[in-house]
Amino acid sequence: MRAMQVTELGQPMKLRDIPTPDPQPGQVLVKVHTCGLNFGDLLIIKGTYQEKPQLPFTLGMELCGTVVAVGEGVTAVATGQRVAAYCGFDALADYAAIPADVCVPVPDQMSDEDAAAFLIAYGTSHVALDYKAHLKAGERLLVLGASGGVGLTAVELGKLMGAEVIAVARGDDKLQVAKAAGADHLINSDSADIREVVKSLGGADVVYDPIGGDQFKAALRACNPEARLIPLGFASGEVPQIPANHLLVKNLTVIGFYWGGYTRVNPKVLTDSFETLITWYVAGKIKPHVSNVLPLEQANEALDLLKTRKATGKVVVRIAG
């Protein structure tokens, strides 16, 4: 089968022919239709992600496909079933052998592109805002990186949950994408003083931050008393150091959050979240924003759209059918 593999850290992936895997006990073999790309994929190629697989390896954290074989002991997933899955690796290939318990049934009305763009972005934002930050209707939510894969879903879900949403992104074009997702206020990070604008709007009660660096520092200083901050990524390249005295004076809470970790420590958090999110999708309340769909042969170009921040929402690679 074809697989887009990392053979050397820091270098472009190579399209290689490798053996089709057999599903092991507890696994299913999925014929991959589409793969959703994520910022974490860029970190994996650089060797700076939390998980460091042995070279060579196949990239691709999430997929949509059809189950073509099941391993020993698998009863909850059947051959012929269309599923989405957060698998961590192996999705940029014709087939992927993945744990059955990470598979989520895909409703008929959800396209392959939407399904591949759904789990990580919406799952991250929903668990962060609902389970971790306990966002309440009427609160003011500040979303940094609001036009990106996870940031855009935070805008959409925050609005759906009743918050007043402030979206921060680079450039007017990206801000218009955030506005279409439901943002009430727009801040251009290229030209505006984030702290001053947020304070003029009444301050932030919850901060959703996949960016880090100077934007986190500005957001911290724009928080209301008892605000909650969720640092969930550092796309700026700078991990901010948090002054404890600022937390003390305003009774602030900084919430550590790694969505993928729940697959090991408490998977029910994710399955409950997916159930809610898919119900909202079927009801027409949420819809993934996919800015680009490219074939497997152009997976390096697809990743470059993320790296250069030319994409909005999600980038999807189509593998089959």
Together in a domain, 240 and 309: no
230 inside domain: yes
31 inside domain: yes
DSSP 87-114: -SS--SBSEEEEEGGGEEEPPTTS-HHH
33 inside domain: yes
Together in a domain, 156 and 90: no
Together in a domain, 139 and 42: no
3-state SS, residue 228 = strand
The single-letter DSSP state of residue 313 is: B
How many separate domains does the chain show?
A: 2
- The pTM of this model reads 0.90
Q: Are 184 and 206 in contact (CB under 8 A)?
A: no
Domain limit, last residue, from 239, 258, 277 = 258
pLDDT digits (tens, 9 = 90+) for 94-122: 999 999 988 999 999 999 999 999 999 99
Q: From CA 124, how far away is CA 106, in angstroms rounded?
A: 18
Q: From CA 53, how far away is CA 96, in angstroms rounded?
A: 16
Together in a domain, 86 and 113: yes
CATH for 203 = 3.90.180.10
109 inside domain: yes
Q: How far out from the chain centre does Cα 163 lie?
A: 20
Together in a domain, 250 and 141: yes
Residue 50's domain spans which residues? 2-118+288-318
Looking at residue 48, its pLDDT comes to 85
Together in a domain, 292 and 186: no
Q: Which two tokens stand for residue 251?
A: 């009774």
Looking at residue 321, its pLDDT comes to 62
Looking at residue 265, its pLDDT comes to 87
Helix axes 39-46, 299-307, angle to 10 degrees: 100
277 inside domain: no
| Closest C-alpha among 86, 83, 73, 84 to residue 23 | 73
The pLDDT averaged over each successive group of 10 residues in the chain (321 residues) is 96 97 97 95 89 92 97 94 94 96 93 96 96 98 94 97 97 94 96 96 98 95 97 87 91 94 87 93 95 96 94 93 62
210 inside domain: yes
Q: Are 180 and 312 in contact (CB under 8 A)?
A: no
pLDDT digits (tens, 9 = 90+) for 129-174: 999 999 999 999 999 999 988 999 999 999 999 999 999 999 999 9
